Amino acid sequence: MSANPSTLWTIAGSDSGGGAGLQADLQVFRAFGHHGCSITTAITAQNTLGVQQIEAVSPSLIQAQWQSLHHDLPPACIKTGMLGDAVETIADLLDTRPATPLICDPVLRATSGPPLLAPHQLETLRQRILPRTTLITPNLPEAAQLTGLPSATPSAYADALLQLGAPAVLIKGGHAPGNICSDFYADAHTRFQLESPRINTPATHGTGCLLAAAIAAALANKQLLTDAIITAKTYLNQNLHEAHSLGNGHGPLPFPPPCNARQYQPNIC
């Protein structure tokens, strides 16, 4: 828990099932001892079985949410999730806070649904938001879509994203087959893998949101980025171990306070 709580922002969609999106981010911020604020980009009807409907929030209301928080509750760190139709609006707003750390979880597709970004919106994410990030955290399908490489190694995906302007990249390996989950980190000077045994649980909804939000919260706790990633990986596995089965599909995670032990050390590449 943080001895000096900070204010963190999540810019994401609302998950009516409470397992992902801004609901998950706010719970993670609170678990790390911080105050979370939210800018809602879309409202979804979803549960543990999937997403049934999405409705975008208007650009004017997104701008109003930003200005409301900007004048009273400025962020120590910003975490973005599903941007959808708001990607251009968010890019414009992020330009006004160039010094604020930004963790980008590029949610590009709804579960069992169509892409969330049109081609020109994906290009906005590549050209305007990706270079502005402190860290981008795509899973393997998202890395393929962002880079245009249909099948590549995590190292190759990371290199391509660095060439597109990302300062640092964490390729999440949960979608890969096998009994080991391996996440690959790269920046201009450092490369490492974080490996842990795959945890057999149906409660996997919101894992990407949790990981990115925990990195943001650990950064707000004054950890270095690489240390924050290790803390977040530990916290994700803590959640997976403690998860209960809720709903009839991929259930939500519990969001307990983070443990102090850092269980996963990097394999330096």
Nearest alpha-carbon partner for 135 in 230, 38, 71, 57: 230
Nearest alpha-carbon partner for 228 in 207, 208, 210, 214: 214
Nearest alpha-carbon partner for 233 in 250, 215, 260: 215
> CA 240, CA 238: separation in Å to the nearest integer?
6
Q: Which string of DSSP letters, residue by residue, matches 77-103?
A: EEEE---GGGHHHHHHHHTT-TTS-EE
Positions marked active-site: 172, 204, 206-209
Provide the greatest CA pair distance for the chain: 48
